[in-house]
Amino acid sequence: MACLLAAPFAYAIFSGAPPAAAKSAAHKEKALPDKFTSLRPGFSVAPQLSAADIAEAAEAGYTLIVNNRPDGEMLGQPKSADLEAAARAAGIAYAHIPVDRRGVSMSHISALKNALAEAGEKTLAFCRSGTRSTVVQAYLAASEGRDPDKIIAEAAEAGYDIAGQRPALEALKAAHQED
């Protein structure tokens, strides 16, 4: 399957954060900090988190933080180990699933699925802008049989344009249907 999905995985993962105006009121959970954007019930994304943001996530009831940034991607970026320590201190599970310039692979999808199964009742995933986290979640949803049109619409409503991921989403859904 990796060969089938290699080409569609080449996407602009370093695009900017979505404009605040693009976030739909339907994607704002009650008491959700402005920095966190709900993609669907129980799963939100955000740009780079700090230890203070993790404390806010704990107050908002998140049970899992997923870090999709590789360490050292940008000067001054918090180290994953430091963010993990802040999450653990706040009573939140933490998973580091770094997605670099090579894009998303099946191992990223599997790692997210496993993290969600272990502690993902209410998940907050982050990267530089939230886009990579949105894409990893979208690929997982498609690999579980969700409709690509609905996945793309859900992301767009939250301010993330992942329409260019349609071929990969369709391939993942088709692979699920073959199983």
> What does pTM read for this prediction?
0.83
Enumerate the domain spans of the chain: 31-178
- pLDDT tens, residue by residue, 122-149: 999 999 999 999 999 999 999 999 999 9
C-alpha 65/C-alpha 15 separation (Å) is: 21
Check whether 83 has a pLDDT greater than 60: yes
Length of the chain measured in residues: 179
Report the pLDDT averaged over residues 147-155: 97
Q: Has domain 31-178 been given CATH number 1.10.3720.10? A: no
What was the pLDDT predicted at 177? Answer: 85
- pLDDT tens, residue by residue, 24-79: 444 444 456 789 999 999 999 999 999 999 999 999 999 999 999 999 999 999 99
